Structure 1
Amino acid sequence: MKNLFRNFYLLLAISTLAFTACKDDTDPTATINPAETLMDYLVETDMDLNHVLKNSDGQKFVMAAPADGNLSSKYIIDIRSAEAFNSGHIANAVNVPDFKNILTEAAKADQPILVVCYTGQTACYATSLLRLYGYHDAQALKWGMSGWNEATAGPWDNAIGDISEGHNNWSFNAAEPALGVFEAPQFISTALEGEAILKERVEYIVAQGFKGVEATDVLESPSTYFINNYFNTTDYSAFGHVDGAYRMNPLLVSPGSTEEAAVTNIDPSKKVVTYCYTGQTSAVITAYLRVLGYDAYSLKFGMNKLFNSSAAWTANQWRGDSSPKNLPLEQ
């Protein structure tokens, strides 16, 4: 796998030269792939995936509920249904039940944005898109309202499971499959410059809403997908993984070392599924990949759905090290 990474830039340079040599610059129908223009722009403006996961100030995309429940410094956008919101919400939160309206509401914010949902997954997806849109200090509430109060913990309590235990498509093989190198995905854009392409793509992905996939579907038919297990090396074998899953962590548009995977190691012809421990980091990655043009999905509830009772947990295990607080709810 390391040799593939060492050869990545050479292969990319060769393919770029071949494309340039074959392209007739006088042909008015000849076009440049907007995905490539967008990728270049994201790298140039310091918005590679690592700086969406953690911004230039070192602020992560997610924040835990404060011990005292005081979120007065945040503009809180609660994207749950009106019914759930009215049953109990954080003080001063604004309810935006239709995901496609998050950018409209974000424009009204006079403080850093905090997005809240049921489990943290859709909120993290929204946060990724908001950061790409220019709200670089936007965050999601970790675990969503499930982590806020026992009365709202149901969505996580009802989701955890051990569906991978003993499954034929679950592997403890420490050897990671070798990555290939692929062309960038293709999409249509009315814009020509990177900044405008990014704006158009974020708006388009917001309009589509959250994109997730059920863990059971992936586990039953892993060959249907290009699967990224977003674990560290130790956890890849300690927890086990979906058979054939790649381990692409870190994952960047422009890798700086042989230890980092590039988005061009992802096969754009397949449905791309990323899974992590909670479905929250994978949601950020999925939104980012969809903006780039990949048909990407986040595996819902991550390892907590696949193998919550595993002995390998050190952090982020629901009802293990992570349980709901008892913070105030307004109605």
Structure 2
Amino acid sequence: MKNLFRYFFMVIAISSIVFTSCKDDTDPTASVNPAETLMDYLIEIDMDLNHVLKNSDGQKFVMAAPDGGDVSGKYIIDIRNADAYNTSHIAGAHNVAFSDILTEAASADKPILVVCYTGQTACYATSLLRLYGYHDAQALKWGMSGWSESTAASWDNAIADLSDGHSNWSFDASEPSLGVYDIPEFSTTATEGVDILKERVEYIISQGFKGVEASDVLDSPASYFVNNYFNTTDYSAFGHVDGAYRLNPLLVSPGSSDEAGVSNIDPDKKVVTYCYTGQTSAVITAYLRVLGYDAYSLKFGMNKFANSSTAWSANQWRGDSNPKDLPLD
């Protein structure tokens, strides 16, 4: 009888282990990385990074100041400080702090045009506005610097040739091999993709623009995961930060083997993206921060590294790109 009871309790114990294990394997309440839920949702609503850079209507995230300065078809949000705005601004512009762009956007009765000093913070804001549902929001290219000679100082004072003769600047055409990493994790009170996205955008806006100085990256490139957002030709012709990757295009869900995905980004490093002007990299940086990456936009891009380079053909400040002489209030 004693052996029978011992056998009975052994069966119960084994059964408990088996059923508990099965339950753990299929438990629908098991924790899911919210970044994964968010990425799945972005794919579902067709808002991978390429459709933030250019929306479904083919409209880019940035627009140049129009000849004649007619932007009457836009709801202009000027996020410069009040002193700069009060000195001069585009007629009809609404001056608000960057942190208040969603509140102001809710009052917009036209497609939004965000304006700042150089276009960089405005592009950062535009990325977040598009993710929030304002898919036709745009930034003014070059910011107020491109609008008028009288407001061009922000770009004029920024251009440089930091890469000239620097030991960490390379013209090597070979690109480093990409690794594959886990996606980042972040905390959220939401569980559904739509709510996670809303909460993340609001949080990233509350943190303000995230940029990094070109000199810091050039002096210590190993401290960052550096993405050179150039095409293949410019990567070698213009030169690049030594060891920089070239993730272009960069997508949540790559469609082919020659496209880079966010899983190729090391989530344990500060992720720095640079482009030609710091404007495209600002869009990418805001998007990556929403996904949970510790991302930064390299300020002024190639125009800070090598503004005098003869390899330029487009987007060179005071080269092919100069301020206009448009009206100001």
Task: Indicate the TM-score class for this superposition, using the shorter chain for normalisation.
Answer: over 0.9
Deviation for aligned residue 1:146:
0.1
Q: Structure 1's 158 and 233: CA in aligned 2 closer, same or farther, altered over 3 A?
A: same
Deviation at 1:257, TM superposition (A): 1.1
CA shift, 1:24, in A, is: 2.3
Residues 1:69 and 2:84 are matched in the alignment: no
1:175 and 1:230 mapped to 2: Cα distance? 15
Matches within 5 A, 1:211-250: 211-250=210-249
Letter in 1 for 2:61: F
Question: What is aligned with 1:30?
Answer: 30
Output one character per residue of 1:92-133: Cα deviation in whole Å (capped at 9) or x when no partner: 00001x211000000000000000000000000000000000
Q: Which one-letter code corresponds to 2:257 in the other structure?
A: T
The answer for the alignment partner of 1:93 in structure 2 is 93
Deviation of 1:48 after TM superposition, in Å, equals 0.2
2:42 maps to a residue whose letter is L
- Do the aligned residues in 2 keep the contact of 1:176 with 1:247 (CA within 8 Å)? yes
Q: CA deviation at 1:218?
A: 0.2
Aligned to 1:80: 80
Distance 2:301 2:22 in 1: 44
Corresponding letter in the other structure for 1:93? A
**Aligned partner of residue 90 in structure 2, secondary structure:** coil
Alignment length (residue pairs): 309
CA distance in structure 2 between the aligned counterparts of 1:47 and 1:248, rounded to whole angstroms: 18
Aligned to 1:47: 47
Q: Distance in 2 between matches of 1:157 and 1:22?
A: 65
Retained in 2: the 8 A contact 1:159–1:305? yes
Matched, 1:155 2:120: no
Matched ranges for 1:115-194 at <5 A: 115-194=114-193
- Give TM-score scaled by structure 2 length: 0.92
> Which residue of structure 2 aligns with residue 285 of structure 1?
284
Of 148-157 and 256-265, more deviation after overlay is shown by: 256-265
> How far did residue 258 of structure 1 move?
1.7
Name the amino acid aligned to 1:224: S
Q: How many angstroms apart in 2 are the aligned matches of 1:24 and 1:177?
A: 41
What's 1:114 paired with? Answer: 113
- Alpha-carbon deviation of 1:30? 3.1
Pairwise CA RMSD: 1.4
- 1:75 maps to a residue whose letter is Y
* Distance in 2 separating the partners of 1:253 and 1:79: 29
TM-score, normalised with respect to structure 1: 0.92
8 Å Cα contact 1:23-1:30 kept in structure 2:
no
In our comparison, the structure showing a higher alpha carbon Rg is 2
1:105 aligns with 2:88: no
Per the alignment, residue 325 of structure 1 pairs with 324
Identity %: 80
Gaps of 5+ in 2: 1-20
Inter-partner Cα distance in structure 1 for 2:138 and 2:28: 43
Letter in 2 for 1:156: W
Letter in 2 for 1:266: I
In structure 2, relative to structure 1, the CA distance for the partners of 1:128 and 1:217 (3 Å cut) is same
- Give yes or no for contact 1:52–1:128 (8 Å, CA) kept in 2: yes
Letter of the structure 2 residue corresponding to residue 191 of structure 1? A
Cα distance in 1 for partners of 2:33, 2:61 equals: 29
Query: Does the 8 Å contact 1:226/1:271 carry over to 2?
Result: yes
- Post-superposition offset of 1:318: 0.1
- Residue identity in the other structure for 2:32: I
Contact 1:62 1:141 in 2 (8 A): yes
Q: Does 1:253 align with 2:220?
A: no
Classify 1:22/1:31 alpha carbon distance in 2 versus 1 (closer, same or farther; 3 Å).
Answer: farther
Distance 1:32 1:318 in 2: 46
The answer to whether 1:201 aligns with 2:207 is no
Instruction: After superposition, give the CA deviation of every residue in 1:193-233 in whole Å (9 maximum; x if it has no partner).
Output: 11110000000000001000000000000000000000000
**Are residues 224 and 155 of structure 1, via their aligned partners in 2, closer, same or farther at CA, if it must alter by over 3 Å?**
same
Judge conservation of contact 1:277–1:301 (CA < 8 Å) in 2. Answer: yes
Query: SS at 1:185's partner residue?
Result: coil
Change in CA separation of 1:169 and 1:108 when aligned onto 2, cut-off 3 Å:
same
Aligned to 1:4: none
SS in 2 for 1:235: helix
What is the CA–CA distance in structure 2 between the aligned matches of 1:32 and 1:22, rounded to whole Å?
A: 18
Compared CA separation, residues 114 and 174, structure 1 to 2 (3 A)? same
- For 2:88 and 2:315, the matched residues in 1 are separated by 25
Q: Which amino acid aligns with 2:234?
A: D
Secondary structure (helix, strand or coil) at the match of 2:24 reads: coil
Q: CA deviation at 1:23?
A: 9.4
SS of 1:24's partner is helix
> Structure 1, unaligned stretches of length 5 or more?
1-20
